[in-house]
Chains A and B, each alone.
Chain A
Amino acid sequence: MDRLLFLLAAGLARGAVLALFALSLVIVWRAARVVNFAQAAMAAAAVYAAFHATAATGSYWIGLATGLAAGALLGAAVERGLMRRLPAHAPLPGIIVAIGLVMVLQAGLAIAFGPEHRPMHPPFSQRPFVIGGVPLLSPYDLFTLGAAAAVMAALALLFNRTPLGLRLRAAAFAPETARLAGVRVPRMVALGWALSAAAAALAALLLVPTELGLNPHAVDLLFVNAFAVAVIGGLDSPAGALLAGIGTGLLVSLVTGYASASAAPLAVLALMTLVLLVRPGGLLAAKEARTA
């Protein structure tokens, strides 16, 4: 019972990070009808920026801000420099370019900074609070949960309650109608990419200190799991990303705790396959997803 509580608590923090990364995939999918397969590599590059900013200034927070800014800039640059030049309405070229970008970024990072894992230190203790004899969340877990929840809430407010959010949604759902309403659609798409990449960078920044350390491939598994989460929740659905993220985080934590760490990716893969076969649009897909 104690073990179950501990695993559930750990799964919650893990799930929040997963949900945030999955949300970043949903944002870019909604903005540009592209699944950004380069999201992990871009997030890793942003974390390298944060790592070096922290190393230079000694401040975790300056590193965090640098990482977010680097992520946003990289997102906008990828959209402006690469994705915009591809023909619309054909999904394949976008995926292939993203794959190429993964290879360039990860190999480039490995060449520039070396392939070894660099330890990153969390700003708060990772020693869990013990409540009633049961070790539960650590201060860093609470920070992770709080940061992820705050950013997701802020994004929800931005998209649903502000004029800018209305522009972003209109540009994503119906670009031509949005243009006719005077919305500068290319700018909105670039902004969507920037927001998405910054959210992914934050998720990666929260994750890396709890793992082996920073490495060009440090975010790969997070991406694959988050992709599964986005698919399970429905690529079009931010709420789906949140729910499926928490659910998958709990699943991974339980499987890791009761079976083995290597069984966790298989469990996620099995869950995603099951959802895809039963409900190809995802659990929270309101209707048939728009074709790309």
Chain B
Amino acid sequence: MSALACDGLTVGYGDGAPVIDGLHLDLAEGAVTALLGANGAGKTTLLRALTGLVPLRAGRILLGGTDLTGMSTEDRMRAGLGLVPEGRSTVVELTVDENLRLGGLWRHKAKARKAAVEEMYGLFPALDRRRRTPGHTLSGGERQMLALARALLARPRVLLLDEPSLGLAPKATAQLLGVLRETAARTGLTVLLAEQNAASALSVAERGVVLSLGAVAADRPAAELAADPALRHAYLGF
């Protein structure tokens, strides 16, 4: 059973040529899938289209049994989708605690929310120490943790991550991906992890999808993908 499926997805900006062209993708329930591809392959556009931040020209998106296609971004999130966007998605004017609570406002009643927030602080002790600090004082790694924690707080069925390793030290990346893999294994969360850093993404993923020029160029088990020298050379750059 697929957790997220899209079919014939076509996306473009203005009157330009499509950036995503008739894409078909199926994410297996509970699996971590790496979304790979060179800069400009369409990874970010795909994630933004799935979450409704960029309008579709054509195609359909199904989350479990729910058709997301015409929904607003916020309704897709409430239907069980989550996105950790690229870069600094911390609301810099809010404190760490406020940023985190924001993620669970619609999901939890006041009491349950408190427990869920504490659980996240347990997962990310670095944030626990900085509850009252304003978002703009956080480091890049802390912001990325905060964005992930906020997304997890809403208990999504499918979580999309856009380049979480961007601008992070290798140690921070490893820590972040570790929490992600552990949470996915524990809760059965389905993950689509877009990364330019193919090696680290494939190390946590079961499956890899390679995007090129807005279409799926390869879709294989992660180990097989990492071992294929031709693919590695053509698309993955390692």
**Chain A interfacial positions (CB closer than 8 Å to B):** 163, 166-167, 169-170, 173-174, 176-185
Contacts and interface: CB of A to CB of B under 8 A. Distances in A.
Given A163-B105, A167-B105, A170-B102, A181 B77 contact: yes
Contacts of B91: 169-170, 173-174, 177-178
Interface in B102-124: 102-103, 105-107, 110
Most buried by A among B91, B92, B151: B91
Contacts of A180: 51, 73, 77, 82-83, 85, 89, 151
A166 B98 contact: yes
Interface string B8-30: 00000000000000000000000
Interface string B116-160: 000000000000000000000000000000000011001000000
B93 A176 contact: no
B94 A170 contact: yes
A245 B105 CA distance: 34
A167 B74 CA distance: 12
B101 interface: yes
Interface string B24-58: 00000000000000000000000000010100000
A286 to B, nearest CB: 9
Given A174-B91, A180-B89, 6 more contacts: A166-B94, A166-B101, A173-B92, A176-B89, A178-B102, A182-B103
A183 B76 CA distance: 11
B93 A181 contact: no
A247 B138 CA distance: 36
A182 B94 contact: no
A178 B93 CA distance: 13
Given A166-B98, A177-B91, A182 B78 contact: yes
Nearest to B100: A181
A167 B94 CA distance: 11
Interface in B159-198: none
Contact of B102 (A176, A183, A185): A183
B142 to A, nearest CB: 16
Contacts, number: 69
B74 A185 contact: yes
A178 B83 CA distance: 11
B93 A173 contact: yes
B93 A182 contact: no
A140 to B, nearest CB: 38
Contacts of A163: 101, 105, 110
Given A166-B101, A167-B105, A183 B93 contact: no
Contacts of B106: 182-183
Nearest to A180: B83
A183 B103 CA distance: 9
A176 B83 CA distance: 11
A180 B82 CA distance: 7
A184 B72 CA distance: 9
Interface string B68-81: 00001110011000
B180 to A, nearest CB: 17
Contacts of B73: 179-180
A185 B53 CA distance: 13
A169 B105 contact: no
Contacts of B107: 182
A176 B91 CA distance: 10
B93 A184 contact: no
Contact of A173 (B77, B94, B151): B94
26 contacts: A163-B101, A163-B105, A163-B110, A166-B94, A166-B98, A166-B101, A166-B102, A167-B105, A169-B93, A169-B94, A169-B98, A170-B91, A170-B94, A178-B91, A180-B83, A181-B77, A181-B105, A181-B154, A182-B103, A182-B105, A182-B154, A183-B102, A183-B105, A183-B106, A184-B74, A185-B74
